Amino acid sequence: MGGRSIKQFQKRWQRSKYLEGLFYAIGFGGLVYLLTHNLVHGVIGFIVSAAIAVFVLRPWSISQENAVSYIDAHLPQAGFSSGLLLSPSNELSDLSKLQQYRVALQLQPVLSKLRPPHNLLKATLIMFAMILLGLAGRFVFSKVGNPLDGNKSTKEQITFSPKDNLSTSIKIPELTGTKITVRYPGYTGKSALDTSDPNIKAVQGSSIQWNLEFDGGVQGVQLDLMGELIDFAKIDESYRLTKNLEASGFYSFTFKDSEGNNYVSDLYSLEMVKDEPPMVQIEGLDSYSYFEFDDEKRLMLNTSISDDFGIADAYIIATVSKGSGESVKFREETIRFNKAVPKGNKRMDLQQPLDLDDLKMDPGDELYFYVEALDQKRPSPNVARSETYFAVIRDTVTDMFAVEGNLGVDLMPDYFRSQRQLIIDTEKLIADKPNISEKDFKFRSNELGFDQKQLRLKYGQFMGDETEMQAAAGAVSHNDGETEQSNEGGEEDLLDEYSHKHDSDNEHNLVEEHGDENEGQEAEDPLHDYLHNHSDPEESTLFEKSLKAKLRDALNIMWDAELHLRLYEPEKSLPFQYDALEIIQEIKNSARIYVHRIGFDPPPIKEENRLSGDVENITNYDKRQEFEYQKSFASTREAISRLESLIQGKKKFDAGDSALFVDAGNELAQRAVSEPLKYIKVLQGLRDLEKAANRSKENYSEVQKNLLSVLPQIEDIPMKKTKYYSEINSLYLKELGVYE
Amino acid sequence: MNDGVVFLNQNLLWPVIIVGLVLWVVFIWKEWSQRKERRFYVKLIASFLAIVSLCMIVLKPSTYQESERGKGIVLTAGYSPTQLDSLKSIYKRIKTEEYTKGRTLSLLTDVDSIFLLGHGLEAFDFWQVENKSVAFLGSDEIEGWTVISRNNEMILGEPLEIRAKYAKPKAGHWAILADNAENPLDSVLFEETDAQVVTLSAEPKASGKFVYHLLEKRGDGEVVSNEPVPIQVKEGRPLKILMVNTFPTFETKYLKNFLTEKGHEVLARTQLTKGKYKFEYFNGASGSMYGFTSENLKEYDLLIIDTDSYTGLGRASKEAMEEVAESQGLGVFVQAGEGLFRLSKSQSPFQFNRDYVTEIVLGQPAQTLSKYPYEFKETLRSQEILMDSVAVAAYLPIQKGKIGTTLLQNTYQLILDGKEALYAQIWTQILNNIAKEQESMLKWTAITQIPRRDEPFQFEVQTPLTDFQVQVNDDEIIPLLEDVLVPNKFTGVVYPKKTGWNQLRVFSDSILPLSYFVYEDEELQSIGQSEIMKVNYRKFGSKNTFDDSASILNKELEPVSPFWFYILLLFSLGWIWLEPKLSY
């Protein structure tokens, strides 16, 4: 009998251990449940922690010996002999039997009161602490937004609510299963995505399939895509709709239950991501490359191409232009990269040497090239191209300044010499010097100087310089007879002797001289009608900046050339002339696109015939046209005032309001496609008003506030106002008129 | 003091004197035995004094005094305690009473001069002090908005413009105009001054009755005050326009497109050749128009006519045009051409000065527009149409109608430049000023600026109608009082029962509503106070003394304190009691 009580004690001990483990487990399981709000997680946590706790505590390891030693240690009545109780009495000596009997007798009342060692209090405290911790964590997460399950309850599920207040006897149909499958276009290489999140973001051309399952009878399940209603097809027990994603937008679901009550879901976004065209970049190359004829004419093309879903192809487009002016010819070639372009890579670095000789380019030819890349988008791929680069083989041959010699008419005046001609003439003059008289030499030198000036002025016009011809001409005096003037008279007088009066328009004395009166005519240069008017330097657009600087240099050099010619030093002038020639050639080779414009002169009208036509057959003409003017966001604006009267409680929500808010939503949705973030709140608010439960003053105000904040200003329109004319005012206005 | 002594109980004078004399006689008879002794005379005097004091206690002698009794202090909201204290130190026991609006002041029964402290009495309580002399001392404590003036009613598209004055603004605070949903629209930063005038404007985005808000916010965004600004936005109506041109121009074409696309009914006539025209009918316009007659012009709201057509008008047409403008209010807009500036005074009503300026800068961002090198000569009648403080056009009223023109030329360039908004703004501004205004049959004016619940709201109705009724709540008819001098002008009073929007209706052939906004008591307090103060100053003047005539009346009988008579009585009786004991 004593043995049984010891066993009971042992059992109690073990039970308390189990209980302790259970407390720990409940605490941990509760913590998990509170944090995740998922019962399954909580149960798993409970079981796992229970197992661990029991394994750690090992209640089964408490043996009778443990119990006995504990009893011996804690009960003096046991007299360190409680172990005897376990021994069968027939194995004991008499003394032992006596002791056994005594101990059994003494222990009986106290043993049941002896508590086994336990940590139950600690376990309970820990349990409550964990649960509290869980509650605190729950609170914190709900404030911060639980990353664990926040999306689940709000976003990742479609929730329906009835459109009208229900007076229904039947159960509200519930959405039991949502499966949205997004199939990306094949070329993207992405696998289909299964989700239950109705906010979809996918690449253009993706196919989206919604699978909805309901319990309870539903009918007419529809997708409302910004006013466009698309029916779901019923397949077995689920409803299915497949749609290709072609534009961003918003959508919601609607369905009817068997009694015909309408249900509508929240508004979800459908975001289309455009497949970006590839990015093509050519690295380490100047946009203009120049080669001399005898250079090695090779270009190294380093291209890096990237695309968001993979590149399909890339190649070089090279255009060679030959010739100049109207005879320019173009030849386009597609050059493949040496290395084959692998399909579907997202990023590629390609290299390709370009040999201009292989392209059959001659000096003076130009090469324009760029790299074109295609991505895998279907049906039509996105095409991207790099910037255009130029390669030019310098031309040293075509350096004649003929103002478009290939034009049928040669507009070049006889006296107008090119720089090259000037050089030739100057060289000839130097060569002739010993054979001619000094006066003749000086005369010819001066004449060359004049030609040099003319040439400079011609080029000056391209720069937009003022024509200085008349100024120079006016400075020359024309007193024929006075050839030997004193030298103090200035350079002009000195020149006069030698000049052939080229500097005046009246070179051949065809017209009697009238002093400065000729200036006006002289200003008109023969090219005037065929050229842009570049008299204003601001309007001079013919040349790039660097060209302008070059031309300016050339003009400055021409000044020096002219100076030396005028000083009868053709030798000194020659180097300047060469310099000028070289610069002019460069300029001409880099900018060669001028088109002559030929004006139109209408035939003159005879004054006496004007306005004398026969108008008998002319009749009145009537035209009729109607414009449907709708001010911008008319429904939205009306919705605002309707909401105001709803807020003020002047009217009840009715079907008309519902229709108006739908219209307003559709109006805004068009705008929302471009800026979804700004509008989704408004649209959602408007959509929420469909649901009976949301029709409260607070919601009305909220929606109205959002509407007002996104609505643009009304455009200006003249409008008719009303005014009251009182008798006195009318009288006053009348009197005002009389005494005016 | 030369007014002498007056007994308050004058009616008891003789009975008291007789009783006193009888008493004295009895006393003398009682003491007659001692007549030989000196103490008899002393006793006589003592008893006489005792009896006289008794009489005086009964009769209450009093004197005229610069009395405090006729004056009282009425304290209204916002009074300054120091002012009250100094008044109380001058007039010791002056009565004071706090004023509650609408309640009768009890102190008025025994005072006839009142010091009015604080912001003053409500106008509807003035009757209480009608016969009293009132010194209105006022208060300078008002802080906050003191004036909010605005256009209460506007057409959708017109701006709401608020000019408000804030007394004692705190630097760093913001005045913010917010719409009915409290989206901010415009704001001004306060400076440290005595009073700041702020101008806020916004364009309502929808029509209806709204309560906008004038907020005062601290720098950190906390709202300090929030005053309602009720406005009514109405839909405008499209115009009926006639455009007459001798030849087509881009200016006309774009103006025509602008107007027709906005839904206005436009009939455009362009001359093709002699006697032949091209008629364009837009948005339901109909009929053909050759010469003007008052019959065919009167249905139009606006006539847009170019200079050549204007100068080429026949006499009959011109007279018809002017007649319709005068009587019907037709607006005539003359599209300026060079010719217009050379017309003589008899040919054109406009007068110009050459100013040689050919450009004008308008809009935000600034946009340069070409103009004719003239400016409008300022005459008595001419009214300029301003945009950004620049005169872009002008008109002359012709009785009800107007004739106007603009100096701008080639405004269509704005459309070509993609600045449609500025183009629309310019033409809206110009045409709105010139076009005919729909004549209404009735005009409401609220006389009470800040209507409050259960307080009188006075309004004015002007109408040529003779048979009409003003009603509230569908059935209650409001009696109207016609103005003595001005016919067709009526005033009436209602007592609004609820705050917020209230409505009055005129029942006649048609129903015309007047909506007015009734403010809560705590709203617009500072404005209400400053209004009250203005009304009180107007009523009582600003001098803080009473009239002389009033102060003579105010001399009051002040009874001599009976204390002295009691003392005298006590001493006399004491002597009479003590004297026999002394003799032993």
Residue B569 has what pLDDT?
A: 92
Residue A209 has what pLDDT?
A: 86
Q: Which of B 413-432 lie inside 8 A of A, CB atoms? A: 421, 424-425, 427-429, 431-432
Pair (B302, B270) in one structural domain: yes
Indicate the residue type of B576. Answer: I
Q: Are B404 and B434 in contact (CB under 8 A)?
A: yes
* Average pLDDT of the segment spanning B292-301: 88
A724: nearest CB among B260, B272, B442: B442
Give contacts of B288 with chain A, Cβ < 8 Å: 620
Residue A146 has what pLDDT?
A: 45
Query: Are B276 and A648 within 8 A, CB to CB?
Result: no
Query: Are A644 and B180 within 8 A, CB to CB?
Result: yes
pLDDT at residue A700 is higher than 50: yes
Report d(CA A665, CA A685) in Å as an integer: 9
Copy the structure tokens of residue A477.
């005096």
pLDDT at residue B434 is higher than 70: yes
- DSSP, collapsed to helix, strand or coil, labels residue A498 as helix
Residue A518 has what pLDDT?
A: 41
Task: Identify the burial level of A694 via C-beta atoms within 10 angstroms of its C-beta, where 0-12 means exposed, 13-18 middle and 19 or more buried.
Answer: middle
pLDDT at residue A173 is higher than 60: yes
The CA radius of gyration of chain A, in Å to the nearest whole number, is 51
Q: Following DSSP, what letter does each residue of A168-220 receive, concatenated? A: -SSPPPEEEEEEEEEE--GGG-PPPEEE----EEEETT-EEEEEEEEES-EEE
User: The domain A280-393: what is its CATH number?
Assistant: 2.60.40
Q: Model-level pTM? A: 0.55
- Total domains in the fold of chain B: 4
Pair (B289, B161) in one structural domain: no
* Closest of A356, A354, A353 to residue A293, by C-alpha: A356
Query: Are B288 and A724 within 8 A, CB to CB?
Result: no
**A535 pLDDT tier (thresholds 50, 70, 90):** low
- DSSP, collapsed to helix, strand or coil, labels residue B171 as coil
Classify residue B505: in a domain, yes or no: yes
* Average pLDDT of the segment spanning B277-298: 86
Pair (B276, B190) in one structural domain: no
Chain B interface, best mutation among A618, A681, A720, A731, by max B CB count within 10 A: A720
**A166 pLDDT tier (thresholds 50, 70, 90):** low
Q: What is the longest distance spanned by two Cα atoms in chain A?
A: 178
Q: Which of A293-307, B46-60, B535-549 has the highest mean pLDDT?
A: B46-60
Pair (B428, B451) in one structural domain: no
CB atoms within 10 A of CB A658: 14
Express as a percent the part of chain A with pLDDT over 70: 79
B435: nearest CB among A636, A718, A734: A718
| CATH number of the domain bearing residue B401 | 3.40.50.880
Residue A544 has what pLDDT?
A: 55
Is any Cβ of chain B less than 8 angstroms from the Cβ of A488?
Answer: no
* Average pLDDT of the segment spanning A339-344: 78
Hey, which bits of B382-498 come out as E strands?
383-387, 390-398, 401-406, 438-439, 443-446, 457-462, 469-472, 476-478, 481-482, 489-494
Q: Which of A476-490, A666-680, B96-110, B158-172 has the highest mean pLDDT?
A: B158-172
Q: Which of B 161-180 lie inside 8 A of A, CB atoms? A: 179-180
Residue B18 has what pLDDT?
A: 92
Residue A381 has what pLDDT?
A: 83
Give contacts of B281 with chain A, Cβ < 8 Å: 622-625
Pair (B447, B371) in one structural domain: no
Q: Which of A 630-659 lie inside 8 A of B, CB atoms? A: 636-638, 640-641, 644-645, 648
Residue A514 has what pLDDT?
A: 44
Q: Are B68 and B110 in contact (CB under 8 A)?
A: no
Does the interface ipTM go beyond 0.90?
no
Classify residue B577: in a domain, yes or no: yes
| Domain definitions of chain A by residue range | 2-144, 155-273, 280-393, 419-505+521-590, 634-710
Query: Are A640 and B208 within 8 A, CB to CB?
Result: yes
* Average pLDDT of the segment spanning A507-524: 44
Report d(CA B512, CA B504) in Å as an integer: 8
pLDDT at residue B510 is higher than 70: no
Give contacts of B160 with chain A, Cβ < 8 Å: none
Classify residue B321: in a domain, yes or no: yes
Pair (B226, B351) in one structural domain: no
Residue A452: partners with Cβ closer than 8 Å, 6 or more residues away = A422, A558, A561, A562, A565, A573, A577
Q: Which helix (H) or strand (E) holds A658?
A: helix A655-672
Place of tokens 């011109």: B318
C-alpha distance from residue B520 to each of A646, B183, B227 (Å): 21, 22, 10
Cβ pairs bridging A and B (under 8 Å): 180
* Average pLDDT of the segment spanning A510-531: 47
* Average pLDDT of the segment spanning B281-285: 86
Pair (B323, B379) in one structural domain: yes
**A41 pLDDT tier (thresholds 50, 70, 90):** confident
Place of tokens 């408490």: A62
Which range has the worst mean pLDDT, A653-667, A683-697, B60-74, B311-325?
B60-74
Classify residue B347: in a domain, yes or no: yes
Query: Are B439 and A722 within 8 A, CB to CB?
Result: yes
pLDDT at residue B570 is higher than 90: yes
Residue A643 CA, chain-centre distance (Å), reads: 37
Q: What is the pLDDT of residues B235-252, one digit of tens each?
A: 888 889 999 998 888 999
Residue A177 has what pLDDT?
A: 77
Pair (B192, B288) in one structural domain: no
Task: Identify the burial level of B313 via C-beta atoms within 10 angstroms of its C-beta, where 0-12 means exposed, 13-18 middle and 19 or more buried.
Answer: middle
Same fold, A155-273 and A280-393: yes
pLDDT at residue B98 is higher than 80: yes
Q: What is the pLDDT of residues A45-62, one digit of tens each?
A: 889 988 988 888 888 888
Q: Which residue of B lies nearest to A637 if distances are taken between CA atoms?
A: B206
Classify residue B526: in a domain, yes or no: no
Q: Are B168 and B145 in contact (CB under 8 A)?
A: no
* Average pLDDT of the segment spanning B283-288: 82
Report the DSSP pairing between strands B469-472 and B500-507. Answer: antiparallel
Report d(CA A323, CA A325) in Å as an integer: 7
| Residues spanned by the domain of B49 | 5-65+559-583
Pair (B460, B569) in one structural domain: no
Q: What is the longest distance spanned by two Cα atoms in chain B?
A: 149
Residue B22 has what pLDDT?
A: 93
C-alpha distance from residue A195 to each of A177, A181, A183, A184, A198 (Å): 11, 6, 11, 13, 8
**A491 pLDDT tier (thresholds 50, 70, 90):** very low
Q: Which of A 359-418 lie inside 8 A of B, CB atoms? A: none
Give contacts of B207 with chain A, Cβ < 8 Å: 637, 641
Q: Which residue of A lies nearest to B379 if distances are taken between CA atoms?
A: A740
| CATH number of the domain bearing residue B497 | 2.60.40.10
Residue A506: partners with Cβ closer than 8 Å, 6 or more residues away = A513, A518
* Mean pLDDT for all residues in chain A: 75
**A484 pLDDT tier (thresholds 50, 70, 90):** very low
A718: nearest CB among B272, B326, B428: B428
**Exposure of B415 in the CB half-sphere (CA atoms within 13 A):** 16
Indicate the residue type of A443. Answer: F
**B551 pLDDT tier (thresholds 50, 70, 90):** very low
**A471 pLDDT tier (thresholds 50, 70, 90):** very low
Q: Are A208 and A223 in contact (CB under 8 A)?
A: no
Strand-pairing partners, residue A333, are A318
Report d(CA A25, CA A34) in Å as an integer: 14
Residue that terminates a domain, selected from B401, B434, B467: B434
Phi, psi of A552 (to 5 degrees): -60, -40
A724: nearest CB among B282, B436, B462: B462
pLDDT at residue B567 is higher than 90: yes
Pair (B501, B368) in one structural domain: no
* Average pLDDT of the segment spanning B200-210: 87
Residue B303 has what pLDDT?
A: 93
Chain B interface, best mutation among A610, A612, A638, A641, by max B CB count within 10 A: A641
Pair (B339, B365) in one structural domain: yes
Report d(CA B303, CA B316) in Å as an integer: 16
pLDDT at residue B576 is higher than 50: yes
Report d(CA B11, CA B17) in Å as an integer: 11
Which range has the worst mean pLDDT, A66-80, A304-318, B159-173?
A66-80
Task: Identify the burial level of B82 via C-beta atoms within 10 angstroms of its C-beta, where 0-12 means exposed, 13-18 middle and 19 or more buried.
Answer: exposed
Is any Cβ of chain B less than 8 angstroms from the Cβ of A1?
Answer: no
Assign domain A155-273 one CATH number from 2.40.50.100, 3.10.400.10, 2.60.40.10, 3.40.50.1820.
2.60.40.10
Query: Are B180 and A720 within 8 A, CB to CB?
Result: no
Q: Following DSSP, what letter does each residue of A520-553 receive, concatenated? A: HHHH--TTGGGS----SGGG--SS-HHHHHHHHH
* Closest of A723, A680, A726 to residue A703, by C-alpha: A680
Residue A170 has what pLDDT?
A: 65
Residue B224 has what pLDDT?
A: 86
Give contacts of A667 with chain B, Cβ < 8 Å: none
Residue A701 has what pLDDT?
A: 84
pLDDT at residue B444 is higher than 70: yes
Q: Which helix (H) or strand (E) holds B195?
A: strand B195-202
Report d(CA B432, CA B410) in Å as an integer: 20
Q: Which of A347-351, A675-679, B473-477 has the highest mean pLDDT?
A: A347-351
pLDDT at residue A163 is higher than 70: no
* Average pLDDT of the segment spanning A249-262: 77
SS3 assignment for B286-328: CCCCCCCCHHHHCCCCEEEEEHHHHHCCCHHHHHHHHHHHHHH
Pair (B202, B313) in one structural domain: no
Is any Cβ of chain A less than 8 angstroms from the Cβ of B464?
Answer: yes
**A738 pLDDT tier (thresholds 50, 70, 90):** low
Residue that terminates a domain, selected from B179, B213, B233: B233
Q: What is the pLDDT of residues A591-634, one digit of tens each?
A: 555 555 566 777 787 888 777 777 778 888 888 888 877 777 88
Q: What is the pLDDT of residues A713-733, one digit of tens each?
A: 888 888 888 888 878 888 888
Q: Which helix (H) or strand (E) holds B580?
A: helix B563-583
C-alpha distance from residue A387 to each of A329, A345, A369, B47 (Å): 22, 22, 8, 135
